[in-house]
Amino acid sequence: MKYLLLIYGNQEKWDSILAESWPAEIAKQDAFNRKYHESGELIGGYGLSDAAAARLVRRKDGAPAVTDGPYLEAKEYIASFYLLDCESEERAYEIAAEMPWADQEPVEVWPILHESAADL
């Protein structure tokens, strides 16, 4: 079964991390990614740019109409997401709990109910 893990952030959170701490924090995340990629349970992990770079796209008269985003006005925004393929919901919870910073910030776990074939 596939699961989506969502990590939220905000500028205040990022600003609270001392510059000299960033290499160690990145190393923790890299170790997590490597561990679960090697186990075959991590399909991919993606860090997103700051919310100021998000855009909304609608279709108007058959063409893209692009405006500033993100869609919701909120202090928190999606900072990164991970796609898992693991044997059970309980296993997804175990992996989410090992996410660096999970002792300080929650990780959302969403079961994926439908998948479209990538090779259509």
pLDDT greater than 80 at residue 117? no
Domain ranges of the chain: 2-111
Has residue 87 got a pLDDT over 80? yes
10 versus 97: which is more confidently predicted?
97
Give me the pLDDT at residue 113, please: 92
pLDDT in tens, 31-80: 999 999 999 999 999 988 888 888 889 999 999 999 987 666 677 888 89
Strands (E) located in 14-114: 42-47, 55-60, 63-68, 77-85, 108-111
Question: What fold is seen in the domain 2-111?
Answer: Alpha-Beta Plaits (3.30.70)
Identify any residues that bridge with 77 across adjacent strands, giving them in sequence order: 9
pLDDT (tens digit per residue) in 15-29: 888 889 989 989 999
Q: How far is CA 59 from CA 12, 27, 52, 66, 109, in A?
A: 34, 41, 21, 9, 31
The answer, yes or no, to whether residue 99 has pLDDT greater than 70, is yes
Residue 10 has pLDDT above 70, yes or no: yes
Region 82-110: what's the mean pLDDT?
95
Q: Is the pLDDT of residue 4 over 90?
A: yes
